[in-house]
C-alpha cells in the first residue's frame, strides 16, 4: 500500500511492536477542513499550541488527507491520540468535523484501506474491539456523529476480503432489446472509421458477459463518432 511521506519530522518517539497493537482508533480533527495535517503536526510540535501538551509531532500514527491520500504519521511508534490507549493502539486521523459534515467516499475508502493494512500487519481481525472510534474509549464525540463505525467496519472487512463492488451486468428485460443492441454494436464496428472494439462488445452481449458500463461506453463512443445520427 502506498503511504505518502509528507516529510513531517518527529521528536523522540518510542517504537511499538506490531504484536502489542490491539486496535485501530479512528479520529477526525474536529475542526474545519482548512485545518490540515501539517497544521496539526505544527501544533503537536509545541506544547504551547495544544492543551494535551503533545510536543513530539503529529500525535497520530497515520492520516488520510482530504483527497484520500494516505499519509505517514508516527507509524510504528507510540502515538499521542487517545489517553490511556496510546501504547497499544494505532491512531488514524482525517481533517474535518464530522459532527457538522459527512466524510467523503474517498476519505472513507482510504481510511478503510489504511485500517485494513494495519490490522493485517498486526494479525488482527475486524470487530468492535479492533476497529473503534475515539469516542468508544474516551469522553469525546470524535470522529463525529456522522462517522458510522459499523458501516466503517463493514467497509474494512470488504477491503480485507478483496471484495469489490459487483459490476452490474447488461441484462435487458426483452430479447428484442438485446438483439437490437447486438445489431447496433455490430453496425458501429462495421468499417474502419467506426470503433472496432464494438465488435468485442457485441460478442460480450451475445454471451451475456457485458456490463452496463461496457454498453454505456460503446454508446458514448458511437455518439462521439457520429455513428448514431
Ligand atoms: Zn480523536
Same domain, 149 and 62: yes
Give the total number of structural domains in the chain: 2
Last residue of a domain, one of 160, 187, 210: 160
How far away, in angstroms, is 48 Cα from ligand 1 center? 19
Specify the higher pLDDT residue, 169 or 17.
Answer: 17
Range 184-190 average pLDDT: 82
Same domain, 141 and 180: no
How far away, in angstroms, is 27 Cα from ligand 1 center? 4
CATH number at residue 63: 3.40.80.10
Same domain, 42 and 115: yes
How far away, in angstroms, is 189 Cα from ligand 1 center? 56
* Whether residue 223 has pLDDT greater than 70: yes
Whether residue 29 contacts residue 94, with contact meaning beta carbons closer than 8 Å, is answered with yes
Range 214-221 average pLDDT: 85
Distance CA 196, CA 190 (A): 8
How far away, in angstroms, is 90 Cα from ligand 1 center? 12
111 belongs to a structural domain: yes
Same domain, 180 and 92: no
pLDDT of residue 122: 97
Specify the higher pLDDT residue, 51 or 8.
Answer: 8
pLDDT of residue 195: 74
Digit-coded pLDDT (tens) for 52-84: 889 999 999 999 999 999 999 999 999 999 999
Judge if the upstream peptide bond of residue 143 is cis by omega within 30 degrees of 0: yes
Same domain, 127 and 179: no
How far away, in angstroms, is 146 Cα from ligand 1 center? 14
10 belongs to a structural domain: no
pLDDT of residue 192: 65
Digit-coded pLDDT (tens) for 169-186: 888 888 888 898 898 888
Percentage of the chain beyond pLDDT 90 is: 66
pLDDT of residue 166: 64
What domain range is 56 assigned to? 18-160
* Whether residue 98 has pLDDT greater than 70: yes
Same domain, 94 and 130: yes
User: CB atoms < 10 A from the CB of 76, how many?
Assistant: 15
Last residue of a domain, one of 137, 160, 183: 160
Same domain, 213 and 188: yes
DSSP assignment of the chain: ---B-------S--B--GGG--EEEEEE--S-TTS-HHHHHHHTT-GGG-TT---SS-SSSEEE-TTS-EEESS-SB---SSTTTGGGEEEEEESS-TTTS---HHHHHHHHHHHHHHHHHHT---STTTEEEGGGTSSS-TT-TT--HHHHHHHHHHHHTT--PPPPB---SSHHHHHHHHHHHHHTTSSTTS-THHHHHHHHHHHT--BHHHHHHHHHHHHHHT---
How far away, in angstroms, is 59 Cα from ligand 1 center? 10
* Whether residue 164 has pLDDT greater than 70: no
How far away, in angstroms, is 171 Cα from ligand 1 center? 46
Cα of 55 vs its chain's centroid, Å:
29
Specify the higher pLDDT residue, 218 or 58.
Answer: 58
pLDDT of residue 220: 85
pLDDT of residue 17: 97
Q: Model's pTM, two decimal places?
A: 0.73
Task: Tell me how far apart the 2 most distant CA atoms of the chain are, in Å.
Answer: 73
Amino acid at each position: 500500500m502506498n503511504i505518502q511521506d509528507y516529510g513531517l519530522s518527529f521528536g523522540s518517539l518510542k517504537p511499538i511492536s506490531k504484536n502489542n497493537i490491539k486496535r485501530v482508533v479512528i479520529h477526525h480533527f474536529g475542526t474545519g477542513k482548512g485545518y490540515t495535517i501539517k497544521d496539526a503536526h505544527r501544533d503537536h510540535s509545541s506544547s504551547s499550541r495544544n492543551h494535551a501538551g503533545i510536543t513530539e509531532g503529529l500525535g497520530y500514527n497515520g492520516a488520510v488527507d482530504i483527497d484520500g491520500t494516505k499519509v505517514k504519521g508516527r507509524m510504528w511508534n507510540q502515538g499521542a491520540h487517545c489517553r490511556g490507549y496510546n501504547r497499544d493502539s494505532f491512531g488514524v486521523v482525517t481533517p474535518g468535523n464530522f459532527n457538522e459534515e459527512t466524510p467523503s467516499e474517498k476519505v472513507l475508502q482510504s481510511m478503510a484501506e489504511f485500517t485494513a493494512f494495519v490490522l493485517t500487519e498486526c494479525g488482527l481481525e475486524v470487530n468492535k474491539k479492533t476497529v473503534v472510534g475515539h469516542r468508544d474509549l474516551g469522553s469525546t464525540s470524535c470522529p463525529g456523529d456522522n462517522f458510522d463505525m459499523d458501516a466503517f467496519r463493514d467497509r474494512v472487512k470488504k477491503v480485507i476480503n478483496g471484495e469489490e463492488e459487483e459490476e452490474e451486468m447488461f441484462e435487458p428485460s426483452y430479447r428484442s432489446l438485446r438483439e437490437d443492441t447486438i445489431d447496433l454494436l455490430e453496425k458501429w464496428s462495421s468499417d474502419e472509421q467506426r470503433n472496432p472494439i464494438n465488435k468485442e462488445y457485441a460478442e460480450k452481449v451475445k454471451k451475456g458477459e457485458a456490463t452496463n458500463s461496457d454498453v454505456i461506453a460503446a454508446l458514448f463512443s458511437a455518439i462521439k463518432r457520429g455513428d448514431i445520427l
